[in-house]
Amino acid sequence: MDRALFFSPQAGRTIDAPELARTRFAIGDVVRHRMFDFRGVIFDIDPVFANSDEWYDSIPEGIRPDRNQPFYHLFAETDESSYTAYVSQQNLVSDSLGGPVEHPEVDQMFDQFEDGRYRVLRSLTH
């Protein structure tokens, strides 16, 4: 399998990843965490884990996900707050609520919400 290297500022190192990776979700999809009570819209995808070792090690060992799967960056929300989240593919499911995400940064990247997903702003596409 062909491999690709990319630098991850979050990890502070070069990441070795498959050149092609299959993802279950896409940028603009609204998803929910499988175990924790939050939902969000995907704004970026890493083909494999590309965050810091400290972040990874902070996850309890019993629920720590495999590094060799897609990880998603989310504009996330709970009933009390909004934040960005970094979540493994195995811990995400499609959001059954189907409504928009009330995160303050959504409008900076996405246009309209339609059919359960967001469309990326035209000015950000190429």
Predicted model pTM: 0.89
* Whole-number pLDDT of residue 8: 85
Report the chain's mean pLDDT, rounded to a whole number.
91
Reported as a single tens digit per residue, the pLDDT across 79-95 is 999 999 999 999 999 99
* Whole-number pLDDT of residue 7: 87
* Whole-number pLDDT of residue 18: 85
The DSSP secondary structure of 60-110, one letter per residue, reads: -GGGPPPSSS-EEEEEEE-SS-EEEEEEEGGGEEE-SS-PPP--TTHHHHE
Residue spans of the chain under pLDDT 70: 1, 126
* Whole-number pLDDT of residue 1: 65
* Whole-number pLDDT of residue 126: 65
* Whole-number pLDDT of residue 124: 78
